[in-house]
Amino acid sequence: MARKQTIIPGVDKRLLIKDAAKLLPDPSRRWFLRGASLGALTLLTGCDIVDSDAAEGVLRRISTFNDRAQAWLFNPNTLAPEYAESRITRPFPFNGYYAEDEAPEIDGKTYKLEVGGLIDNKEPWTLDRLSALPQVSQITRHICVEGWSAIGSWQGVRLSEFLQRIGADTRAKYVWFQCAEGYSNTVDMATALHPQTQLSFKFDNQILPRKYGFPMKCRMPTKLGFKNPKYITAIYVQNNDAGGYWENQGYNWHSGL
């Protein structure tokens, strides 16, 4: 699993560039399907026949269809495989669209988790109160959208347990996460209620280090890595899909494993 040519272990150079490109004006970063990117089809047809806006629209619709196919395939009782402690990948890679030293620094003493949407009790949660919730542990495989994988160990409270405690309406469609670095995404309620979906406060039985999302990440072994938010500052239960950082750029929304 040695991945070469990356600036920072676990960070894809292309994605960094992609992220930097976001700072450019809109037309200049619409290279999604243009020019050289059409290499194979251009070779095939001898000319650039694909209208990129039309192609992008079709691909997005198929991606939405794939969301439904994956929701259908998702079995709420199927557990992700768990591994022995000896299988844990050490060091576990840091991964983000920013460098490790740019990761958010959160003061655990003043931290408050905001909760909202279709819930009964909207009182914010301190880290002490969160850490006092019943804890579970898992050693599961984190699979990145890039293809690599790593086995990690997480401890925390089941999200389903937490949702019950805040009186969430679990008939709602989505759980939305807002994170300190500006990251956000939504997941389907079925995944949020999965027994292995966990609000994690610890990695490998140590307080979650900054690089892995201190003070809290949401570990979902049934989803690709980027669907597992870190540095969570707010959780909302809602019926509208508020999108997500990567999903808005074209990653498949469901991204279930």
Partner 1 sequence: MTSIEAANIPERQPTVIHPAWVRVTHWINAVAMLVMIGSGWEIYNASQLFGFTYSSSITLGGWLGGALQWHFAAMWVLAINGMVYVALGLITGRFRSKLLPIRPGEVAADVKAALTLKLAHDDLSKYNSVQRLLYAGIIVVGVTIVLTGLAIWKPVQLQWLTALFGGYDVARYVHFFCMAAIVGFLVVHVLLTLIVPKSLRAMMTGR
DSSP H/E element including 153: strand 149-158
Choose between 149 and 164: whose C-beta lies nearer to partner 1. Answer: 149
Residue 215, preceding bond cis, omega within 30 degrees? yes
Choose between 63 and 170: whose C-beta lies nearer to partner 1. Answer: 63
- Taking residue 256's Cβ as centre, other Cβ atoms within 10 Å add up to 22
Choose between 145 and 234: whose C-beta lies nearer to partner 1. Answer: 145
- The identity of residue 100, as a single letter, is E
- Taking residue 150's Cβ as centre, other Cβ atoms within 10 Å add up to 18
The nearest distance, CB 103 to partner 1, in angstroms, is 21
- Taking residue 212's Cβ as centre, other Cβ atoms within 10 Å add up to 23
Residue 239 neighbours by CB under 8 Å, 6+ apart: 118, 172, 173, 174
The whole-angstrom separation of Cα 175 and Cα 168 is 10
Query: Could you list the residues that contact partner 1 (CB under 8 A)?
Result: 1, 3-5, 12, 14-15, 18, 31-34, 36-41, 43-44, 58-60, 62-63, 66, 73-75, 78-81, 141, 143-149, 221-222, 246, 249-252, 256-257
Choose between 24 and 59: whose C-beta lies nearer to partner 1. Answer: 59
DSSP H/E element including 55: helix 52-73
The nearest distance, CB 144 to partner 1, in angstroms, is 7
The nearest distance, CB 83 to partner 1, in angstroms, is 10
Choose between 182 and 250: whose C-beta lies nearer to partner 1. Answer: 250
The nearest distance, CB 69 to partner 1, in angstroms, is 9
The nearest distance, CB 68 to partner 1, in angstroms, is 13
The nearest distance, CB 74 to partner 1, in angstroms, is 7
Cα torsion 119, 123, 129, 130: sign = positive
The whole-angstrom separation of Cα 236 and Cα 256 is 20
Choose between 121 and 149: whose C-beta lies nearer to partner 1. Answer: 149
